[in-house]
Structure 1
Amino acid sequence: MEASFDTAPCLYFACDDGGRLLDVNETLCRRLGYRRDELAGQPVDLLFTLATRIFHQTHFAPLLRLRGSAEEIYITLRTKSGEELPVLVNAAGADGSTGLQFVAIPLLHRKQFEDELIAARKAAEDALRENTELQRIRAELQAHTALLDEQMSVVERQNEELRQVSRVVTHDLQEPIRKLMVFLNMLREEGPGKPAVLDKVLRVSGELRSVVAGLQQYVWLTDAFCQPADQDLGHLLLLVQQELAAQYPDVQLQVSHGALPPVHGDRKQIHLLFYQLLDNAVRFRSSPTEARVRLAVTRVTHNRFRNLKDRYDFAEYLKLQLSDEGVGFDPAYAEQAFALFRRLHPQSGHGIGLALCRKVIENHQGSISIDSMPGSGSTVTFFLPCTTAGAGAPDPKNEYHEPEAQDHTLR
């Protein structure tokens, strides 16, 4: 029996009341690296680390004196080579003596298990916290979804009403106006009436027809499905210049610019945008026979969010600045210039050109503004998406470098 205990899979040692070792088993000697005769009569503290010695003197020994035994006490033993061996120990008074007996079981992976338990508990607490936060966010999202659905219903009703009004304005009114102009022309040619009065009526009818046509374009931009693609900006400018040369045969339109990168947008809408901008430059020129325009292009990083505070989604845009040398206007009316049917000059058209421009820019998630000064011309600044092909890191100076400017003049 004693031989079996000597090699049992546990560490056994006994000491007297003075803390001197009386007996150890072979298993303890093997695990700690001692011979039995090296431990006989030695202080029991020889087996303890410094931390365990302090714990033994302040807690473990008083507990044994008070209760006579202790179970599952975690301490650390010290091997002969100085390494630490964590163990779980039971201790009790020796039978028929005043000494103590200790039985210890090594816990080589206890620290690892404890760390894993702590990590698992922390992960569980984090998951519970995230789940609570997720439930709160889900409830908020549900409330926002209900509000959004209600708002979408209101918007859908308003859009349907707008579509009904647009059908009346752009279709039902077009035909009566056309017939009115036809009959007025017939009356002017055949009747002996007052030509001056008929001329005024014809002019007003023509203006009304132009207003309806402008509204038709505005409604089209509101309802049109944007089909963005990479557009050759230089080619579009030439087409617009050709149209304006035919419309204003007595005016020389000069457009200068550097290299023009492709722009990503709807072809028809981008064409309309530059037509309206260049038409304004010709219409409000300071010279009776010439209109000069300068187009500058810069590649920038632009925030897509324009109305939400503290929300950012940056993307590469082209910043285009179209400057003319026209008559200009009071900068106090810069924002009003984009209002529908707002006229800033007596010689203005119908006040819809810049409103159409803003609608095109909004359809492309950009922005537009205008700076002007009486007698110093105007500069329209607007942002359009960059081409998707070959999009790489932005230029270190955050701008598109232009080579020597090119001059395109059409008469």
Structure 2
Amino acid sequence: MDAVVEIASFENAPCGFVAFDDRGKILEINARLADWLDRERADLLGSPVREILSKASRIVFETSLIPLLKMNQKIDGVSLDLVRRDGTKLPILLSGERSGTGETAVTRLVLLNAGGRRNYERELAEARATAEAQLATEAKEGELREQFVAILGHDLRNPLAALSSAIRMLAKSTTGDRERLIAAHAEDSIQRMSRLIDTTLDFARVRLGAGFELDLSGSARLGDQIQLVVHELSSANPDRKIDLDMDLQYKPSCDVWRIGQLLSNLLANALCHGDPEQPVSARVSCKEDALTISVTNKGEPIPPEMMEQLFDPFKRPKTTSKHGLGLGLFIVSEIAKAHEGEMQVASDSGTTEFSFRMPYSPDT
């Protein structure tokens, strides 16, 4: 009974089997392999084993594999093609072992159907090529968009500066209160547009890989820059109170204008999203270990789902009705990185605090 089961398993095993002698004549072949070839098993016995291979595979088999079998007695995982009765090819993976010598030598081969694997590999290669082409196209389009934004922003500066100069001249020459008010509103709009252009250019510069070029020559003027930023935002928001606590015991090596931009963006964010009835607090300190800047506002906490995205570009709370590009905190983060500093955020039921810390030592 066991012998019958063994023979049946061999004939219908999920792999092909063929044995041939030293002259290449088939001595044994199982039913599975005969079925793959669409040939009668009896017709294959005694025929040359090379006949079940495609023309290209015969060359590889006879010039490479047979010599390897005679030298090493075995081969593993060789990819070849069988040929069916109708001439179509069947890809297989072949492993074999040779025993005996001379005319008594017998070679036994086990063959696995590799059609599915080859199709999978081909589809995988095609999918990879398609994905790489798509990524290359998207990268090129993204770079072109960012270059366009940078060029456009740069070209907008000159006419905007000319327009601002003309409005200031008109404001000086006019005597009517209504005309001066209109000129003041126009100048405010121009300044806001200028800030939007600067932010857009900063974003494009970062995305293009240029980053921020720091000017460390004006560190002594940091205090003046901080005062100027607070004054500008207080003037732009006359109904809001900004409390400033500044303690600069040392003059840190930093880009004064960029640090001012960082503070300005944090204050603008606090004024925009904080409780309008409560003051915004700014603390600037430079002691022996670090330069620190923190901005605190009262009001609703930042939603938990927004915390991890605060410094991503174009991210704003969906509930806000304020205007802006959603780039302010992204620029803050990039300025902090350029100074080898870090940003931290804490927000609870009553207070939100953004803090910047740049390690600093007076001896460096």
Please indicate the TM-score interval, normalised by the length of the shorter structure: 0.3 to 0.5
Higher relative contact order (CA 8 A, sep 6+): 1
TM-score after normalising by structure 1: 0.39
TM-score after normalising by structure 2: 0.43
Larger of the two Rg values belongs to structure: 1
